[in-house]
Amino acid sequence: MNRTIRVGSRDSTLAVIQARLVIDAVKKTSPMDFEIITIKTMGVGGKGQFIKELEQALADGNIDIAVHSYKDMPFEETEGLPVVALSEREAPFDVLVLPKGITTLENSKPIGSSSLRRTIQFAKLYEDFEIKTIRGNVPTRLSKLDNGEYSALILAQAGLNRLSLQNRISRIFTIDEMIPPASQGIIAVQGRQGEDHSFLDNFHNRVSETVSKAERRFLKTLGGNCSTPVAVYGQIHNNELLLTGMYVDADGNIKTGKISGSIDRSEQLGEQLAVHLKEKAGE
């Protein structure tokens, strides 16, 4: 008799949807039983606290796997708790969301952004807009927007797609306009070292693995994390990886650049681009 796999997730609508995406994908090839166990964090600490709490539940044996948005995870894996599978990448782009019933961007109220990376890049596209930090899950942010607190929000397209809120998107920023963070749009599954995770083999996406290796090496080389203004995005065409990145130094100098090469050198390409941008910033 097969045991039930306990899947750990954050206690939010989007996080549970992502956990169900993993389960549904596995069930297509493996008739297994799953149970979603949500973790609700009462204290402060943001996304990092949710990662830690899920990892603790995994280490304690209270769950068998944990499901995360890969962009929220630190580039250094926690010892004994490796990432064992990655999803196919959902749309990686950032988007502009206007209040319901509004069709043009107005400068009467601030723009809501949850990251310095987005704020810096938006300011290059639109001058003279006030940008204000916004917190909370996607439905909470949309509620604040529609209640008149903001002129617009900058959100991840992947989250809106997974919440079936594509109709709220007013503009999709291109990579040249707004480079996303490492691994945006990718779901990561974390497990315990030494256990059998072969049931995830058909879920795991090799393209996501390759681009994430490059993007996260770029992040690691610059010493960035999920909250620093570092941006990087990898695309694969015919076994060639094109990597686009942004680095902001301590003085606020913004440097962007690209590098390409064989997918076999994905991590080296990430490191080379990071070093190049850091040198450009120091010129």
Question: What is the set of active-site residues?
Answer: 72
Q: By the 8 A CB rule, do 136 and 159 touch?
A: no
